[in-house]
A and B are shown apart, each in its own frame.
Chain A
Amino acid sequence: MVAGADHIDYQAPVDRMQHARRLHVWLLLLLVAVSLASLTYGATGVTLWGTLAKLWAGEELTRTEAVVLFDIRLPRLFLGICVGAALAVSGAVMQGLFRNPLADPGIVGISAGAGFGAIVAIVLGALLPVWISDLVGNQLIPLAAFFGGWGTTLILYRVSTRRGRTSVATMLLAGIALAALAAAFSGVLIYMADDQQLRDLTFWALGSLAGSSWTKFVAAAPIIVTALIASFFLGRGLNGLALGEATAAHIGISVQRMKNLAILCVAAATGAAVAVSGGIGFIGIVVPHLLRLASGPDHRTLLINSALLGASLLLAADVIGRAIISPAELPIGIVTAIIGAPVFLWILLRRRGIVDM
């Protein structure tokens, strides 16, 4: 009936979903491989194979072997997986929510809020009553970071929600304002900080898994795992949101409920991740972007793949950070930035002019 339609050449649809599901398997294998590498590589000569062989033969492990494997590498591995997955999934969810491939928990001020919390703890921690510091012990900085991120998110949410509807645009702008405010208050505290506190701040800001312990893992893992599992249910909603909020509602998504859940997940996952590992950049932007190129932007698979690739990348960066200046180690945030920034630029240059991301 219409010119051009009379010679229907039926193009069989390429199923990128299936491709993405196959990718689940490959990324899981990658994560296992990187995990094994993370367990077996370290400054001491302790290897996973050596200790396993010993255990198999029924021999006792030496004190060093036991401590290196069970108190240093294992908590570090698990914490790395949690943090990497949390950062990548938070990035993917934020990008879906803001419909912008450059969105990131950093943009809406969640990371800045968490950083502010950490700075308060570092600089003003000594002023706390003794019973509080006794109660929280070494966990003061992580706790403060978590509540900093969480508090920022609550304020953001309050500011941008009117009569039950959250305006994503207002949230973005308010986030920028809040991030600036947190940075300003942080600046005040940095001015008050002494030399040693400044050094602590620097190391915290660079991000590191060096302080991993079972205590931290036990504190962070339940929050992160719950947030991740919840966010895997956001896939269809975020796909709908790609068509705009109105259309998302038309195809049967309860948009406001989905936004609430998304913001909750991101605040919890980012807050907990930043709390235990400091500021680690680029995972949240690079991982979802790479996966969109590899298997399409469908969030139903993108979120799971982001968790797997994010965990793998963070662990790989951690192994590199440990290897480069062994026996000292490079903060992981530096490694992710050194790897992440050029990869990101390369992606942008390669894709420029083909598809507007």
Chain B
Amino acid sequence: MKWLRACRSKSLALPNAVLTSFWVAAVAIFVATGSNGRAENPHADVLAIGGTVTEIIYALGQEHRLVARDTTSTYPPEAQALPDIGYMRALSPEGVLSVEPELIISEEGAGPPEAIDVLKEAKIAFVTVPDEYTADGIVEKIRRVGDALAVPEKADALAADVRKSLEAAKSSARAAAVEPKRVMFILSTQSGRIMSAGEDTSAEAIIRMSGGVNAVTGFQGFKPLIDEAVTAAAPDVILMMDRGGSHGAQNDELFAMPALRTTPAADSEAVVRIDGLLLLGFGPRTAQAVSELSAALYGG
């Protein structure tokens, strides 16, 4: 597949006719090798699994082809009117089949594996979209979804747009960050344990893009932190996902935790809350997330 992608990016410069014929060839190769379940029918009924995939499908203007979505697909709000087939890591094969999709576009990590096996057995085209927390990664996601939906031109246009605005957002964020702030992402504070984001996480990536520094280092992924590690991380700002409700009360509760009380963030009551899908989705709206976070960190 890698060679194909390389060819495709070269082909961008070629005239439209060549591009189109190239795509016809590419599609033919895919179908012939059967290495990927690409939709042959541009009007295929589509099931979107993963919030960002759904967002991209809407951004490509292909929402009329959606028949259902998963629980994490909450944006745009209209998407929530679609039937919900459950959480992406605990799919029920028959539930998926019941919405009669002809094409499933899924973020990485859909499961359980047995369910995916059954769906493949049912000969439903299944496209997996990789999740990477970079501008290139977003572009790749959009292209994959566009390919799967057979609207590559629209995807290229959207990808170019998204890349442009993201680069712009990133550079203005960089400019604003004269003194980079130490940001700690807190996923949850369940039973007094602070679950934070370490290295190689979506949270770290968005913090960096917005001109901040991840205050938490030394491990990968999302892990619970011991209290002293929280204090030692000395975050200037706490970043959380917005779950609605009263932020004031939530802040009081947050800074009542001994681990957080001594941090610089507690002194200035610096808590930023951004919708989880917007913040960590790495899709078309990431530029917006970067601008919002940067504004929250360094002022508009």
Contact = CB atoms under 8 A, between A and B. Distances in A.
Are A and B a genuine interacting pair, yes or no?
A: yes
Nearest to B90: A203
Interface stretch (B51-59, B97-105, B143-151): B97-105
B115 A211 contact: yes
Interface in A307-350: 322, 325-329, 331
B61 interface: no
Contact of A328 (B71, B111, B187, B221): B71
A216 B115 CA distance: 12
Interface in B90-133: 90-100, 109, 111-115, 117-118, 121-123
Nearest to B99: A327
A85 to B, nearest CB: 21
B221 A194 contact: yes
A72 B89 contact: no
B84 interface: yes
Nearest to A326: B95
Contacts, number: 102
Contacts of B43: none
Specify the main secondary structure of chain A where it touches its partner.
helix
A329 B86 contact: yes
B100 A64 contact: yes
B89 A326 contact: no
A73 B92 CA distance: 11
Nearest to B195: A195
Contacts of B115: 210-211
A210 B98 contact: no
Contact of A196 (B71, B83, B86, B89): B89
A14 to B, nearest CB: 46
Contacts of A191: 223-224
A160 interface: no
Nearest to A190: B224
Given A72-B118, A196-B89, A328-B86, A211 B112 contact: yes
Given A67-B122, A210-B115, A73 B94 contact: yes
A327 B122 contact: no
Contact of B95 (A67, A192, A200, A329): A329
Nearest to B224: A191
B68 interface: yes
Contacts of A37: none
B93 A199 contact: no
A195 B98 contact: no
A213 B114 CA distance: 7
Contact of B113 (A138, A192, A326): A138
B222 interface: yes
Interface string A39-75: 0001111000000000000000001100110011100
B222 A42 contact: no
Interface string B207-245: 000000000000001111000000000000000000000
Contacts of A213: 114, 117-118
A212 interface: yes
Given A138-B113, A195-B222, A326 B98 contact: yes
A145 to B, nearest CB: 14
Nearest to A331: B90
A138 B112 CA distance: 9
A208 interface: yes
The CB with the most chain B CB atoms within 10 A, among A44, A63, A208, A212, is that of A44
A215 B99 CA distance: 26
B228 to A, nearest CB: 16
Nearest to B193: A191
Interface string A212-225: 11011000000000
Interface of A: 42-45, 63-64, 67-68, 71-73, 137-138, 191-192, 194-196, 199-200, 203, 208, 210-213, 215-216, 322, 325-329, 331
Given A67-B122, A211-B113, A327-B95, 16 more contacts: A64-B97, A64-B100, A67-B97, A68-B94, A195-B187, A196-B89, A203-B87, A210-B114, A213-B114, A213-B118, A215-B114, A322-B95, A327-B86, A327-B96, A328-B84, A329-B86
16 contacts: A42-B94, A43-B98, A63-B123, A67-B97, A67-B118, A72-B97, A195-B195, A196-B109, A210-B114, A211-B112, A211-B113, A325-B86, A327-B86, A327-B94, A329-B86, A329-B95
